[in-house]
Protein backbone atom coordinates (compact mmCIF):
# COMPACT_ATOMS: atom_id res chain seq x y z
CA UNK A 1 0.00 0.00 0.00
CA UNK A 2 1.44 3.38 -1.02
CA UNK A 3 0.99 6.40 1.22
CA UNK A 4 2.67 9.75 1.71
CA UNK A 5 4.91 9.87 4.75
CA UNK A 6 3.47 12.72 6.80
CA UNK A 7 6.86 14.11 7.79
CA UNK A 8 8.90 13.85 4.60
CA UNK A 9 5.99 14.04 2.10
CA UNK A 10 7.53 11.26 0.02
CA UNK A 11 5.74 8.18 -1.28
CA UNK A 12 6.31 5.16 0.94
CA UNK A 13 5.23 1.62 0.10
CA UNK A 14 3.93 0.40 3.44
CA UNK A 15 3.32 -3.26 4.17
CA UNK A 16 -0.13 -4.06 5.53
CA UNK A 17 -0.25 -6.38 8.53
CA UNK A 18 -3.66 -7.85 9.36
CA UNK A 19 -4.62 -8.94 12.85
CA UNK A 20 -7.87 -10.73 13.68
CA UNK A 21 -9.26 -11.38 17.13
CA UNK A 22 -12.43 -12.96 18.48
CA UNK A 23 -13.20 -11.84 22.00
CA UNK A 24 -13.68 -14.92 24.21
CA UNK A 25 -16.51 -15.43 26.65
CA UNK A 26 -15.83 -13.90 30.02
CA UNK A 27 -13.56 -11.17 28.61
CA UNK A 28 -13.72 -8.00 30.72
CA UNK A 29 -14.85 -4.79 29.06
CA UNK A 30 -11.93 -2.70 27.80
CA UNK A 31 -11.36 0.14 25.32
CA UNK A 32 -10.47 -1.29 21.94
CA UNK A 33 -7.34 0.87 21.55
CA UNK A 34 -5.96 -0.44 24.84
CA UNK A 35 -6.89 -4.01 23.94
CA UNK A 36 -5.13 -3.85 20.56
CA UNK A 37 -2.03 -2.19 22.01
CA UNK A 38 -1.79 -5.02 24.50
CA UNK A 39 -2.52 -7.83 22.05
CA UNK A 40 -0.40 -6.81 19.05
CA UNK A 41 3.30 -7.40 19.53
CA UNK A 42 5.45 -4.24 19.27
CA UNK A 43 2.39 -2.07 18.64
CA UNK A 44 2.36 1.31 20.31
CA UNK A 45 -0.81 3.10 21.30
CA UNK A 46 0.05 5.80 18.77
CA UNK A 47 0.25 3.23 15.98
CA UNK A 48 -3.04 1.64 17.00
CA UNK A 49 -4.72 5.04 17.25
CA UNK A 50 -3.55 5.87 13.73
CA UNK A 51 -5.08 2.65 12.44
CA UNK A 52 -8.38 3.56 14.15
CA UNK A 53 -8.28 7.13 12.81
CA UNK A 54 -7.63 5.77 9.30
CA UNK A 55 -10.67 3.46 9.66
CA UNK A 56 -8.57 0.32 9.50
CA UNK A 57 -10.12 -1.20 12.62
CA UNK A 58 -13.56 -2.81 12.53
CA UNK A 59 -15.78 -4.67 14.97
CA UNK A 60 -18.16 -7.20 13.44
CA UNK A 61 -17.58 -5.58 10.05
CA UNK A 62 -18.27 -1.99 11.18
CA UNK A 63 -15.65 0.72 11.55
CA UNK A 64 -14.70 1.16 15.20
CA UNK A 65 -13.88 4.20 17.31
CA UNK A 66 -11.14 4.19 19.94
CA UNK A 67 -13.75 4.64 22.66
CA UNK A 68 -15.49 1.37 21.75
CA UNK A 69 -15.61 -1.10 24.64
CA UNK A 70 -14.97 -4.67 23.54
CA UNK A 71 -17.58 -7.32 24.32
CA UNK A 72 -17.48 -11.13 24.38
CA UNK A 73 -17.77 -12.87 20.97
CA UNK A 74 -17.03 -9.68 18.98
CA UNK A 75 -14.81 -10.13 15.93
CA UNK A 76 -12.10 -7.48 15.57
CA UNK A 77 -10.10 -6.82 12.43
CA UNK A 78 -7.11 -4.48 12.64
CA UNK A 79 -4.83 -3.44 9.77
CA UNK A 80 -1.49 -1.96 10.80
CA UNK A 81 0.73 -0.32 8.20
CA UNK A 82 4.41 -1.07 8.57
CA UNK A 83 7.11 0.82 6.64
CA UNK A 84 9.47 -1.10 4.35
CA UNK A 85 12.90 -2.17 5.61
CA UNK A 86 15.53 0.56 5.74
CA UNK A 87 18.55 -0.38 3.66
CA UNK A 88 21.74 1.30 4.84
CA UNK A 89 24.21 1.46 1.96
CA UNK A 90 27.89 2.21 2.63
CA UNK A 91 29.01 5.00 0.30
CA UNK A 92 32.46 6.36 -0.44
CA UNK A 93 31.69 9.96 0.56
CA UNK A 94 34.57 12.10 1.87
CA UNK A 95 34.30 13.15 5.51
CA UNK A 96 36.12 16.03 7.18
CA UNK A 97 37.35 14.18 10.26
CA UNK A 98 38.39 16.43 13.13
CA UNK A 99 39.24 13.61 15.53
CA UNK A 100 39.14 9.82 15.54
CA UNK A 101 40.14 6.98 17.81
CA UNK A 102 38.90 3.41 18.29
CA UNK A 103 35.81 4.58 20.23
CA UNK A 104 34.45 7.59 18.37
CA UNK A 105 34.98 10.14 15.67
CA UNK A 106 34.19 13.84 15.39
CA UNK A 107 33.39 15.26 11.95
CA UNK A 108 32.72 18.70 10.53
CA UNK A 109 29.50 18.14 8.56
CA UNK A 110 28.97 20.26 5.45
CA UNK A 111 25.71 22.09 4.87
CA UNK A 112 23.33 20.12 2.65
CA UNK A 113 24.22 16.71 4.08
CA UNK A 114 21.56 14.80 6.01
CA UNK A 115 22.80 13.04 9.15
CA UNK A 116 21.06 9.69 8.74
CA UNK A 117 18.84 7.95 6.18
CA UNK A 118 15.09 8.38 6.24
CA UNK A 119 12.25 7.69 3.83
CA UNK A 120 13.11 10.79 1.78
CA UNK A 121 16.90 10.53 2.13
CA UNK A 122 18.18 7.00 1.73
CA UNK A 123 21.60 7.88 0.35
CA UNK A 124 24.32 10.51 0.66
CA UNK A 125 23.98 10.84 4.44
CA UNK A 126 26.56 10.93 7.21
CA UNK A 127 25.64 7.35 8.16
CA UNK A 128 26.21 6.12 4.60
CA UNK A 129 29.63 7.78 4.63
CA UNK A 130 30.58 6.55 8.12
CA UNK A 131 29.63 2.95 7.29
CA UNK A 132 32.05 3.05 4.35
CA UNK A 133 34.74 4.77 6.41
CA UNK A 134 34.52 2.00 9.02
CA UNK A 135 35.03 -0.70 6.41
CA UNK A 136 31.45 -1.76 5.65
CA UNK A 137 30.79 -2.54 2.00
CA UNK A 138 27.56 -4.56 1.84
CA UNK A 139 24.11 -2.94 2.29
CA UNK A 140 22.47 -3.60 5.65
CA UNK A 141 18.70 -4.07 5.83
CA UNK A 142 17.00 -2.93 9.02
CA UNK A 143 13.37 -3.46 9.94
CA UNK A 144 11.91 -0.18 11.22
CA UNK A 145 8.70 0.79 12.91
CA UNK A 146 7.14 3.97 11.57
CA UNK A 147 7.62 5.45 15.06
CA UNK A 148 11.39 5.20 14.50
CA UNK A 149 11.12 7.48 11.49
CA UNK A 150 8.91 10.20 12.85
CA UNK A 151 11.57 12.43 14.37
CA UNK A 152 13.73 12.22 11.26
CA UNK A 153 14.37 15.96 11.10
CA UNK A 154 15.19 16.58 14.74
CA UNK A 155 18.45 16.97 16.55
CA UNK A 156 18.18 14.06 18.96
CA UNK A 157 17.40 10.52 17.78
CA UNK A 158 14.27 8.81 19.02
CA UNK A 159 14.72 5.81 21.31
CA UNK A 160 14.16 3.44 18.42
CA UNK A 161 16.79 5.10 16.26
CA UNK A 162 19.25 5.07 19.13
CA UNK A 163 18.88 1.30 19.43
CA UNK A 164 19.28 0.85 15.69
CA UNK A 165 22.34 3.02 15.22
CA UNK A 166 24.07 1.82 18.40
CA UNK A 167 23.45 -1.85 17.72
CA UNK A 168 26.17 -4.39 17.03
CA UNK A 169 24.94 -4.54 13.43
CA UNK A 170 25.22 -0.83 12.75
CA UNK A 171 28.35 0.58 14.34
CA UNK A 172 28.15 4.32 13.56
CA UNK A 173 26.14 5.46 16.58
CA UNK A 174 24.41 8.73 15.82
CA UNK A 175 24.31 10.41 19.20
CA UNK A 176 22.92 13.78 18.07
CA UNK A 177 22.01 15.54 14.87
CA UNK A 178 22.16 18.92 13.25
CA UNK A 179 19.82 20.03 10.49
CA UNK A 180 20.60 19.21 6.88
CA UNK A 181 21.41 22.84 6.01
CA UNK A 182 23.35 23.55 9.20
CA UNK A 183 27.09 22.91 9.06
CA UNK A 184 29.39 21.93 11.88
CA UNK A 185 30.56 19.40 14.43
CA UNK A 186 29.08 15.97 15.13
CA UNK A 187 30.36 13.23 17.42
CA UNK A 188 29.68 9.65 16.32
CA UNK A 189 30.11 6.56 18.51
CA UNK A 190 31.71 3.41 17.15
CA UNK A 191 30.28 0.97 19.70
CA UNK A 192 27.16 0.65 21.88
CA UNK A 193 28.94 1.42 25.17
CA UNK A 194 30.38 4.67 23.82
CA UNK A 195 27.01 5.54 22.30
CA UNK A 196 25.20 5.01 25.60
CA UNK A 197 27.74 7.11 27.51
CA UNK A 198 27.61 10.04 25.08
CA UNK A 199 23.82 9.86 24.91
CA UNK A 200 23.69 10.14 28.69
CA UNK A 201 25.87 13.25 28.55
CA UNK A 202 23.48 14.82 26.04
CA UNK A 203 20.48 13.87 28.17
CA UNK A 204 22.06 15.46 31.26
CA UNK A 205 22.96 18.59 29.22
CA UNK A 206 26.62 18.32 30.19
CA UNK A 207 27.74 18.48 26.56
CA UNK A 208 29.30 21.84 25.62
CA UNK A 209 27.86 23.18 22.37
CA UNK A 210 28.30 26.57 20.75
CA UNK A 211 26.80 27.65 17.46
CA UNK A 212 27.70 30.71 15.40
CA UNK A 213 25.05 32.36 13.26
CA UNK A 214 24.41 35.48 11.23
CA UNK A 215 21.09 36.86 12.41
CA UNK A 216 19.07 39.72 11.01
CA UNK A 217 19.17 43.04 12.87
CA UNK A 218 20.90 44.45 15.93
CA UNK A 219 20.03 43.05 19.33
CA UNK A 220 18.96 45.28 22.25
CA UNK A 221 21.51 43.58 24.53
CA UNK A 222 24.92 42.13 23.73
CA UNK A 223 24.23 39.15 26.03
CA UNK A 224 20.92 37.50 26.78
CA UNK A 225 18.87 34.37 27.31
CA UNK A 226 15.88 33.20 25.31
CA UNK A 227 13.40 30.89 27.00
CA UNK A 228 10.26 29.54 25.37
CA UNK A 229 8.66 26.10 25.16
CA UNK A 230 9.01 24.61 21.70
CA UNK A 231 6.45 22.41 19.97
CA UNK A 232 5.34 21.56 16.46
CA UNK A 233 3.73 24.49 14.69
CA UNK A 234 -0.03 24.35 14.22
CA UNK A 235 0.39 26.25 10.95
CA UNK A 236 2.99 24.03 9.27
CA UNK A 237 3.92 20.53 10.45
CA UNK A 238 7.48 20.94 9.10
CA UNK A 239 8.02 23.88 11.44
CA UNK A 240 8.39 24.27 15.17
CA UNK A 241 7.38 27.28 17.23
CA UNK A 242 7.39 28.77 20.70
CA UNK A 243 4.08 27.54 22.09
CA UNK A 244 2.01 28.15 25.22
CA UNK A 245 1.00 24.52 25.72
CA UNK A 246 2.12 21.03 24.70
CA UNK A 247 5.69 22.22 24.15
CA UNK A 248 9.03 21.25 25.70
CA UNK A 249 11.11 23.65 27.74
CA UNK A 250 13.93 25.25 25.73
CA UNK A 251 16.65 27.67 26.81
CA UNK A 252 19.25 29.40 24.63
CA UNK A 253 21.95 31.90 25.61
CA UNK A 254 23.22 34.37 23.03
CA UNK A 255 26.33 36.54 22.82
CA UNK A 256 26.82 39.22 20.15
CA UNK A 257 30.27 38.77 18.64
CA UNK A 258 30.03 41.57 16.08
CA UNK A 259 27.41 44.03 14.85
CA UNK A 260 26.96 45.04 11.23
CA UNK A 261 24.65 47.56 9.59
CA UNK A 262 21.61 45.28 9.41
CA UNK A 263 22.79 41.98 10.88
CA UNK A 264 24.80 40.50 13.74
CA UNK A 265 27.29 37.71 14.19
CA UNK A 266 25.93 35.78 17.17
CA UNK A 267 27.21 32.96 19.35
CA UNK A 268 24.49 30.71 20.76
CA UNK A 269 24.88 28.25 23.65
CA UNK A 270 22.28 25.54 24.11
CA UNK A 271 20.97 24.46 27.49
CA UNK A 272 18.47 22.09 25.86
CA UNK A 273 18.42 20.23 22.55
CA UNK A 274 15.03 20.84 20.96
CA UNK A 275 14.43 20.44 17.25
CA UNK A 276 15.35 23.65 15.36
CA UNK A 277 15.86 25.35 18.74
CA UNK A 278 18.19 28.17 17.69
CA UNK A 279 16.25 28.83 14.51
CA UNK A 280 12.93 28.94 16.39
CA UNK A 281 14.20 31.13 19.23
CA UNK A 282 15.91 33.50 16.81
CA UNK A 283 12.76 33.92 14.76
CA UNK A 284 10.68 34.30 17.93
CA UNK A 285 12.83 37.30 18.97
CA UNK A 286 12.47 38.87 15.49
CA UNK A 287 16.07 38.07 14.57
CA UNK A 288 15.73 35.09 12.21
CA UNK A 289 18.89 33.44 10.92
CA UNK A 290 19.91 34.95 7.59
CA UNK A 291 18.98 32.63 4.73
CA UNK A 292 16.59 30.50 6.80
CA UNK A 293 13.66 29.93 4.43
CA UNK A 294 11.57 27.95 6.91
CA UNK A 295 11.67 30.61 9.62
CA UNK A 296 11.55 33.79 7.55
CA UNK A 297 15.24 34.61 7.20
CA UNK A 298 15.41 34.37 3.41
CA UNK A 299 14.09 37.89 2.83
CA UNK A 300 15.30 41.32 3.90
CA UNK A 301 14.17 41.93 7.48
CA UNK A 302 16.29 45.00 8.27
CA UNK A 303 18.05 47.52 6.00
CA UNK A 304 15.55 47.76 3.17
CA UNK A 305 14.94 51.52 3.65
CA UNK A 306 18.39 52.58 2.39
CA UNK A 307 19.26 51.59 -1.22
CA UNK A 308 22.90 50.86 -0.41
CA UNK A 309 21.98 48.56 2.48
CA UNK A 310 19.20 46.91 0.48
CA UNK A 311 21.68 46.13 -2.28
CA UNK A 312 24.15 44.75 0.26
CA UNK A 313 21.45 42.61 1.91
CA UNK A 314 20.42 41.18 -1.45
CA UNK A 315 24.05 40.34 -2.15
CA UNK A 316 24.16 38.38 1.12
CA UNK A 317 20.95 36.53 0.31
CA UNK A 318 22.32 35.45 -3.08
CA UNK A 319 25.02 33.53 -1.22
CA UNK A 320 22.94 32.48 1.80
CA UNK A 321 20.83 29.81 0.12
CA UNK A 322 20.53 28.06 3.49
CA UNK A 323 20.49 29.22 7.11
CA UNK A 324 23.80 30.81 8.15
CA UNK A 325 24.17 28.56 11.19
CA UNK A 326 27.26 26.57 12.15
CA UNK A 327 27.88 24.16 15.05
CA UNK A 328 31.29 25.58 15.87
CA UNK A 329 32.30 24.13 19.23
CA UNK A 330 31.66 20.72 20.77
CA UNK A 331 32.91 19.48 24.12
CA UNK A 332 32.33 16.27 26.09
CA UNK A 333 34.01 13.80 28.43
CA UNK A 334 35.60 10.94 26.53
CA UNK A 335 33.64 7.81 27.56
CA UNK A 336 36.78 5.64 27.83
CA UNK A 337 39.65 7.93 28.89
CA UNK A 338 37.50 10.37 30.91
CA UNK A 339 39.44 13.23 29.31
CA UNK A 340 37.73 16.53 28.58
CA UNK A 341 37.51 16.78 24.79
CA UNK A 342 36.91 20.18 23.19
CA UNK A 343 36.76 20.77 19.44
CA UNK A 344 36.44 23.86 17.28
CA UNK A 345 35.65 23.99 13.56
CA UNK A 346 36.15 26.37 10.67
CA UNK A 347 33.15 28.26 9.35
CA UNK A 348 31.74 27.09 6.02
CA UNK A 349 32.80 28.96 2.87
CA UNK A 350 29.38 30.52 2.24
CA UNK A 351 29.22 31.71 5.85
CA UNK A 352 32.63 33.38 5.47
CA UNK A 353 31.63 35.01 2.17
CA UNK A 354 28.53 36.55 3.75
CA UNK A 355 30.65 37.82 6.65
CA UNK A 356 33.04 39.48 4.21
CA UNK A 357 30.20 41.30 2.46
CA UNK A 358 28.86 42.49 5.81
CA UNK A 359 32.30 43.71 6.85
CA UNK A 360 32.97 45.58 3.63
CA UNK A 361 31.86 49.22 3.49
CA UNK A 362 31.21 48.92 -0.24
CA UNK A 363 30.16 46.06 -2.48
CA UNK A 364 33.04 45.09 -4.71
Q: What distance in Å separates the CA atoms of residue 111 and residue 128, rounded to the nearest whole number? A: 16
- What ranges in the chain are assigned the alpha helix state H? 32-39, 45-53, 126-133, 146-149, 159-165, 192-203, 277-284, 307-319, 349-359
Marked catalytic residue, from 5, 33, 146, 179: 179
The single-letter DSSP state of residue 153 is T
Say how far apart CA 260 and CA 283 lie, in whole Å: 18
- Give catalytic status of residue 349 as yes or no: no
48, 13 in Cβ contact below 8 A? no
Beta strands in the chain (DSSP E): 2-4, 11-13, 15-22, 57-59, 62-63, 75-82, 86-88, 97-100, 104-109, 140-142, 173-174, 183-189, 208-216, 223-227, 230-232, 240-242, 251-259, 263-270, 325-333, 340-344
- Candidates 221, 216, 177; CA nearest to 327 is 177
233 close to 241: Cβ distance less than 8 angstroms: yes
- How many C-beta neighbours within 10 Å does residue 176 have? 22
Find out whether 16 and 57 touch, Cβ atoms under 8 Å: no
350: number of Cβ within 10 Å: 16
SS3 146: helix
Q: Active-site positions?
A: 179
Amino acid sequence: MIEYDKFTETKVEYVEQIFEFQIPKGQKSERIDLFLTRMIQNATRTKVQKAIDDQRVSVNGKVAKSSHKIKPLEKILCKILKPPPMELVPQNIPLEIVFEDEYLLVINKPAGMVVHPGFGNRYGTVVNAVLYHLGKREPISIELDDDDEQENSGEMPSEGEGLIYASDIIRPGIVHRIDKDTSGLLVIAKDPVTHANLSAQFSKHTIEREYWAIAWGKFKSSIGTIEGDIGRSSQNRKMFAVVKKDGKFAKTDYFILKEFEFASLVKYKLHTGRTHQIRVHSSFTHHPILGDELYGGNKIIYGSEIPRLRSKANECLKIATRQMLHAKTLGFIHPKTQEKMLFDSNLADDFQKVLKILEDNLIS
